[in-house]
Amino acid sequence: MAKTTDITTFFLETRTHTKEICNPLEIEDYVVQPIVDVSPPKWHLGHTTWFFEEFILKNHIKDYTVFDPDYSFVFNSYYESMGKRVVRADRGNLSRPSVNKIYEYREFVTSQMEALLNNQPSKEILQLTEIGIHHEKQHQELLLTDIKFILGNNPLLPIYETSFKEHPIEGQEQQWISIAEGVYEIGHSDNSFCYDNELGRHKVYLHPYSISNKLVTNKEYLEFINDDGYNKFQFWHSEGWDWINSNPINAPMYWHQIDGKWHHYTLGGIKELQLDLPVTHISYFEAFAFAQWKGCRLPTEFEWEIAATNFNWGTRWEWTESAYLPYPNYKKAAGALGEYNGKFMVNQKVLRGSSVATSVNHARISYRNFFQTKLRWQYTGVRLAQ
Amino acid sequence: MAKTTDITTFFLETRTHTKEICNPLEIEDYVVQPIVDVSPPKWHLGHTTWFFEEFILKNHIKDYTVFDPDYSFVFNSYYESMGKRVVRADRGNLSRPSVNKIYEYREFVTSQMEALLNNQPSKEILQLTEIGIHHEKQHQELLLTDIKFILGNNPLLPIYETSFKEHPIEGQEQQWISIAEGVYEIGHSDNSFCYDNELGRHKVYLHPYSISNKLVTNKEYLEFINDDGYNKFQFWHSEGWDWINSNPINAPMYWHQIDGKWHHYTLGGIKELQLDLPVTHISYFEAFAFAQWKGCRLPTEFEWEIAATNFNWGTRWEWTESAYLPYPNYKKAAGALGEYNGKFMVNQKVLRGSSVATSVNHARISYRNFFQTKLRWQYTGVRLAQ
Amino acid sequence: MAKTTDITTFFLETRTHTKEICNPLEIEDYVVQPIVDVSPPKWHLGHTTWFFEEFILKNHIKDYTVFDPDYSFVFNSYYESMGKRVVRADRGNLSRPSVNKIYEYREFVTSQMEALLNNQPSKEILQLTEIGIHHEKQHQELLLTDIKFILGNNPLLPIYETSFKEHPIEGQEQQWISIAEGVYEIGHSDNSFCYDNELGRHKVYLHPYSISNKLVTNKEYLEFINDDGYNKFQFWHSEGWDWINSNPINAPMYWHQIDGKWHHYTLGGIKELQLDLPVTHISYFEAFAFAQWKGCRLPTEFEWEIAATNFNWGTRWEWTESAYLPYPNYKKAAGALGEYNGKFMVNQKVLRGSSVATSVNHARISYRNFFQTKLRWQYTGVRLAQ
Amino acid sequence: MAKTTDITTFFLETRTHTKEICNPLEIEDYVVQPIVDVSPPKWHLGHTTWFFEEFILKNHIKDYTVFDPDYSFVFNSYYESMGKRVVRADRGNLSRPSVNKIYEYREFVTSQMEALLNNQPSKEILQLTEIGIHHEKQHQELLLTDIKFILGNNPLLPIYETSFKEHPIEGQEQQWISIAEGVYEIGHSDNSFCYDNELGRHKVYLHPYSISNKLVTNKEYLEFINDDGYNKFQFWHSEGWDWINSNPINAPMYWHQIDGKWHHYTLGGIKELQLDLPVTHISYFEAFAFAQWKGCRLPTEFEWEIAATNFNWGTRWEWTESAYLPYPNYKKAAGALGEYNGKFMVNQKVLRGSSVATSVNHARISYRNFFQTKLRWQYTGVRLAQ
């Protein structure tokens, strides 16, 4: 656990960074929700703020008066124990509270929190604050990927920020890293911050495997497309095959064929496809089919965790073959925070690593991200195993 | 046809009035589309402007350069002959073009039009301009009713404008006006402006009938509710009965029961239900069921038109029993404007009169409004016949 | 009203004819419901029987014991006043009661009815029996068209009956019959049987019009297809255009292109398209679009009724431009029979005439059939007007 | 691999048993498909027959003529490599081929197979026949559970067979079996028949756990219901909570409350709920929620396999916490049979054991059954772990 002064700094930096992410936006960009998975930016601003108010200020400041009693209804995401809430699909139907009002709400809660942290906070307050900071960092990534979806699906294809670098190049040669058979330890191991789903640390038996030292590139993925990979059922799960056949899906999200040439939309605008960059914005179904086509497979999350120190990671969330399940001796937190992770442990796949959209201090080897198998709007990627 | 100077004034007044309607809005209110029938206010601003650019400026100004070539795609509503367009359900997913940009677009087109009108415009330009003005007036009403939906379905129930008067009281006693059997003339009759669907003027045979001198009030409609009218199938069409049973519908739209008392949301905010005001925001199905319950019926549009001089009208669009069909000898306009009315003449009901949201100079006895039988977000109302 | 002996004969002939229609079926054909509009044949057998039991036997035989108390739930169609019922879409999910059991039920009710009719029945019984007979004749037509759908959508395309003649040829030359302007009388006029929706007889004013002496043929309709009529929006209602573009519709139902040649499935099997036969199995949307393409229009039901004595009719149900609405002074019957017609008088179009599938003694000039604008499984057709 | 004479006997017994399962049915019961997951019995009869014809007879009998060339289209289930097929949801829309015709088809294929097996069959034929037999045994279980659904959702609640025993009683006391931590071997181990998904045998590391010696009973599950378990979100996955709230689910499938008392429909008819029998027809979501409520959890499939010799199993398919994933070194079969298992290895849960509906010789400790988390029409059950 960090010291009080450190955590205040950490808190304020995080709160500021959220605003910085929104700097390039027009007011209108804060409002829309083009698909149910993408939340309006102003909702992220309000929700991350509500989290501090609901879980800390209301319980730890005597006679605390909430900024607006309706906000609990508007900015609750999924905490059933915290009462009724706007259904997720309706977030984009709400023009009020206005963006300015939500920024006022942020200022209010930030300063209340700052005062609290500067006044000999209890250990519980410090712990909850740490969770709130990490919660906001998670939303910072969603904020960026949701902004990308909002702008990238607008027919005008507006630029978010010209200088945004999505794609660090992986120049090294592709090699297979071999890992020996045996019993390994998995899970978060020191006393730094982690989520409950990274615990408890436990043993797994791994069979011998090898794993690639680099991510699959656009060039390799294009070969799969050009070999008609989207039309060959033998590489696909049955559910994946149904999905690509009942939706117009024949390339990664944000790829466009313009005058016979592949382009991709990035946060820096629409560009001709850069072949040497790691492929991104593909679903688990596509990652799996690509691996099958290549005669390989995806690693399990355990294989990934054990091998990770041998390769570079951090530009793409890497799909694994592992279903998102509790570790042995997994324990949910008491109360509403117990809803943070556990109740999503079904019908999702684990992604490991982090991405170009992940905030600083929010990546670690034991981190378990998870999404449904058809989702593509995150900066996902593929690393092969054998 | 109005004189050139008159029409320039009429044009500029209309353009200004659209902006006035939007004065009370926050930027965010311009963006959202909570249901497919409700368009974002900024879409209305752009679409009415596009109409002048597309049908007049592009054809009648030599070497005219459009403000933005993408806008035709974004702001076309349903004109198949005018090319591809954003699907209706996606209007609320577009944060760009921004509201400011659309206001620039409006200024640009308004001044281009003004210059054109001041430079000895042809008769065709004048006619198209007149259509464009009336088109914008139609959208002014939709703008108001869409704003009401956007604000009235927000959990914060924001006020549009405190002074907005929705409900002129009808204080006179209810009486039945009797009309004798015979052949009558129907349709627009002088050379003032009208839409093609009001022509051609023709004869109909009417059987003896009587029609109420006033609209049904909230008080009367509440009696229907309290008599369990929403639970008695015998008053309902089969399709209407299915509709109220598969949707949470047991009162007019915008009615809320708070602490056991009926309230209604108005553009002036949420208020206790005013019993003496004409009921509004009900579907045709509800209007029909109410009439059945009362032992009466709705008038046909012909009965309404013949009797209209005998009563006050203009606060509610009055549902009629008539299906929306072409008059004998109805002729569609040539080209894209032929898509204005004719292609909607199926599975809709005619509404007659006008409402508190109708713009000035946009109401006349022969006017034929039309909506699907389940829609409620317009200021609809009921007048009984026997 | 027919005499008692006549009505007994009429009743028994009708009951026998229903069974004859089912003669060519396998047991399995009685069970399935491929779309919600098509009921399983065994349901028709049960429902027409239930009608006699529910509306006559239960009320007019002292201490009558129903054949099976569950059948009211299974075989009620839409009579809300008669209690709960199997939802329409679930009729094809019921394997029981078995076909044999339903035939037992038929025998039981037929003999009970016969005994009642032979024992000095009251006038009310005679009237209800007449309604029950006509109700069953209506279902005989549905039985045939539902069987056609069941077999015609099976990949094996089984033959119903080789000798079934769907298509009497219309050999005469096409001519326009002119009708003069004036006030005409519409509706059922003598004291023979009719449904409530054909009353009361009333005056309408008709403008001068001309109407074709014959139906549109497959040859003419094929010209529309070959002129790309299904791809030209200007001929279609907006709702019709959406419908053909969100469904695989580019020809009448039951037309198949096999090895580059048009074929059609008939109750006599699959055959090469016969060009001189009247086109059938098209929706109102298609009938309207064809008429628009031809520069004509569909007649109103009033125009049809006044002109009908001047032309042959009876092989196709002819779409009219008229919405299905109550006549002036229309009165619903009291009680459950009041649900027979009135509650369907919205969002449907009137069809006039009758078809090759209509039972004998069930066609008359004032008869008003009605269907939704997209339905095609009846033997519909087109007659043009100007 | 069994000897030729043994396999012929095994084949003929299996073919006969399928017919025996259908003995109590009416012809109509063979036809219907009330939900997409339930196939019509006649489809099972045809499909299991098609499997032998398609994978064996067509390839291993010279100049073999198929019984009917359309049957490949009608009876293919999901083998993409075997060409087009009737979409699954349409199986219940097909009245033809008739049941009698399908029985002819069965006889034809059975005798062709018998001749082939009696004529010195190759090893490949024997292997494929063994797969075909096990394939048919799998469908025997589905046949029974589909019949239960068809009859159990008919409002007449017909009895399948009075003597059918669904529920062997588990009378022994509930105890916890403790298993020590360590590395264990998982997967099929001898050379008897198994599916590809049970291979290859491999090591897993298990943490110490205990597992119940008996299944959860109706009595225990009723306590969960009575404690309002279906209304307490904290026990449910987020997806499960949405599912029970958007469907009318508040008890196991086939439970009915009649006059205030719980009953359940069994293949022997509707009966008062027997409290001491193992609960069945619950989804994974319900199994998980029950375990949470009880303060326990579901075992993984590995925990189950290692402990299975210590307890009785075989009356219910036991939900495990394990996602259905390939074992290390899993290899798909070449060709169409490669579609048997692998392509379903996503978004499903493993069930272990077998049920009262499982055919003889079709249960083994390494068997991996799998279903989606919301399905309930199989004889599922719950065994708790800690």
- Put simply, the answer to whether A322 touches D321 (Cβ < 8 Å) is no
What whole-number percentage of chain B has pLDDT above 70?
98
Share of chain D above pLDDT 70, in %: 98
Quickly state the pLDDT bin for C1 (edges 50, 70, 90): very low
Q: Which pLDDT tens digit goes with each residue over C122-148?
A: 999 999 999 999 999 999 999 999 999
**What's the pLDDT score for residue C85?**
81
Asked whether residue A209 falls in the same domain as residue A69, the answer is: no
State the pLDDT at residue B4: 66
Cβ distance C346 to B81 less than 8 Å, yes or no, reads no
Q: Is the same domain home to A14 and A140?
A: yes
pLDDT (0 to 100) of residue A339: 76
Whether chain B has a CB inside 8 Å of the CB on C83: the answer is no
pTM for this one?
0.95
Give the CA distances from residue B75 to residues A93, A154, B105, in Å, rounded to whole numbers and listed in that order.
Answer: 20, 13, 12
The number of distinct structural domains making up chain B is 2
- Is B167 inside any structural domain? no
Do residues D199 and D238 both lie within one domain?
Answer: yes
* Domain boundary, last residue among B118, B137, B152: B152
Residue B288, pLDDT > 70, answer yes
Q: Is C81 on the interface with B (CB under 8 A)?
A: yes
Indicate the residue among D100, D118, D152 that finishes a domain: D152
In a domain, D158, yes or no: no
Instruction: Identify whether A158 is part of a domain.
Output: no
Q: Are C93 and D29 spatial neighbours (Cβ–Cβ below 8 Å)?
A: no
Residues in chain B: 386
Tokens in use for D113? 């197979």
Structure confidence by residue, pLDDT tens digits, D123-156: 999 999 999 999 999 999 999 999 999 999 999 9
B336 touches chain C (CB under 8 A): no
d(CA D127, CA D140): 20
Q: Residue D1: which pLDDT band, with cuts at 50, 70 and 90?
A: very low
| Nearest chain A CA: its distance from D120 CA (Å) | 34
Percent pLDDT > 90 in chain B is: 87
Cβ contact, residue pair A32, B155, below 8 Å: no
For chain A, list residues with pLDDT below 50.
1
Task: Give residue-wise pLDDT tens across range D77-114.
Answer: 877 777 778 888 899 999 999 999 999 999 999 999 99
User: Looking at the predicted structure, is the pLDDT value of residue B3 above 70?
Assistant: no
Same domain, residue pair B240 and B327: yes
Q: Calculate ∠ Cα A284-A290-A291, nearest 5°.
A: 90
Who contacts B349 (Cβ-Cβ below 8 Å, separation ≥6)?
B284, B319, B320, B321, B322, B323, B324, B370, B371, B372, B373
Q: b/e per residue, D134-154, with b = 16+ CB within 10 A?
A: bbbbbbbbbbbbbbbbbbbbb
Which residue among B42, B90, B158 sits closest to A96, beta carbon to beta carbon? Answer: B158
Q: Can you tell me the ipTM of this complex?
A: 0.95
Of A48, A64, A41, the residue nearest A15 (C-alpha): A48
Q: Measured between CB atoms, does C204 come within 8 Å of chain B?
A: yes
Q: How far apart are CA D270 and CA D264, in angstroms?
A: 6
Range of the structural domain that residue C63 is part of? 4-152
Q: Residue A22 in contact with residue A91, Cβ under 8 Å?
A: no
Residues C139 and C206 in one domain: no
Q: Give pLDDT, residue C338.
A: 77
Does A280 touch chain B if contact means CB atoms closer than 8 Å? Answer: no
Give the mean pLDDT of chain B: 94
Q: Do C202 and B202 touch (CB under 8 A)?
A: no
> Does the pLDDT at position B356 exceed 50?
yes
Domain CATH number, residue C367: 3.90.1580.10
Question: How does pLDDT run across C282-295, given as a tens digit for each residue?
Answer: 999 999 999 999 99
A171 in contact with D, Cβ within 8 Å: no
Mean of pLDDT values over C99-122:
97
In this structure, the answer to whether residues A65 and A202 fall within a common structural domain is no
Report H helices in chain B.
4-22, 41-52, 58-60, 71-75, 99-117, 123-152, 218-226, 238-245, 284-293, 301-307
- Domain for residue A157, yes or no? no
- Average confidence score pLDDT of chain D: 94
Q: Give every strand in the sheet of A349-353, ordered side by side.
A: A369-371, A349-353, A317-323, A380-381
Contact C71, C50 (CB under 8 A): yes
B–D contact (≥3 CB pairs within 8 Å)? Answer: no
Are 3 or more Cβ–Cβ pairs between A and D shorter than 8 Å? yes
- A189 shares a domain with A140: no
In a domain, D164, yes or no: no
- pLDDT for the residue B339: 75
Chains that touch B (3 or more CB pairs under 8 A): A, C
Q: Is B335 part of the contact surface with chain C (CB cutoff 8 Å)?
A: no
Q: Does B278 touch chain C (CB under 8 A)?
A: no
**Domain membership flag for residue C245:** yes
Tens of pLDDT along A280-301? Answer: 999 999 999 999 999 999 999 9
For residues A91 and A40, the answer to whether their CB atoms sit within 8 Å is yes
* Contacts B36 to C, Cβ<8 Å: none
| Chain C CB within 8 Å of residue D34 CB | yes
Q: Do A179 and A208 meet the contact criterion of CB atoms below 8 Å apart?
A: yes
CA D33 to chain CA centroid, Å, is: 17
Mutation choice for B interface testing from A25, A38, A74, A96 by most B CBs within 10 A: A96
pLDDT of residue A3: 62
Question: Is C116 found in the same domain as C190?
Answer: no
- C308 falls in which pLDDT band (50, 70, 90)? very high
Closest chain D C-alpha to A298 CA, distance in angstroms: 11
With an 8 Å CB cutoff and a minimum of 3 pairs, decide whether chains C and B touch.
yes
Residue B258 domain-assigned (yes or no):
yes
Judge if D128 and D185 occupy the same domain. Answer: no
Query: Mean pLDDT lowest for which of A8-22, A317-331, B254-268, B335-349?
Result: B335-349
- Any D CB within 8 A of A185 CB: no
Helices (H), chain A: 4-22, 41-52, 58-60, 71-75, 99-117, 123-152, 218-226, 238-245, 284-293, 301-307
Mean confidence (pLDDT) of chain C: 94
Among all residues of chain D, which has the CA nearest to that of A186? D205
Read off the pLDDT of each residue in C27-35 and give the average, rounded to a whole number.
97
One domain, residues A225 and A323: yes
In a domain, D340, yes or no: yes
Side-chain-side CA neighbours of B258 within 13 Å: the count stands at: 10
Closest Cβ opposite residue C323 in set B207, B241, B323: B323
Q: Of the residues B117, B152, B187, which one is the last residue of a structural domain?
A: B152
Å from D207 to nearest chain A CA? 7
Chain-chain contact of D80 with A241 (C-beta, under 8 angstroms):
yes
Rounded to 5 degrees, φ, ψ at A32 are -90, 155
**Whether A17 and A98 share a structural domain:** yes
Between strands C317-323 and C349-353, the pairing is: antiparallel
Of chain C, the percentage scoring pLDDT greater than 70 comes to: 98
Query: Which chain B residues are within 8 Å of C373, Cβ to Cβ?
Result: 346-347
Identify the pLDDT of residue C86: 82
Whether D127 and D42 map to the same domain: the answer is yes
- Does D244 contact C at CB distance below 8 Å? no
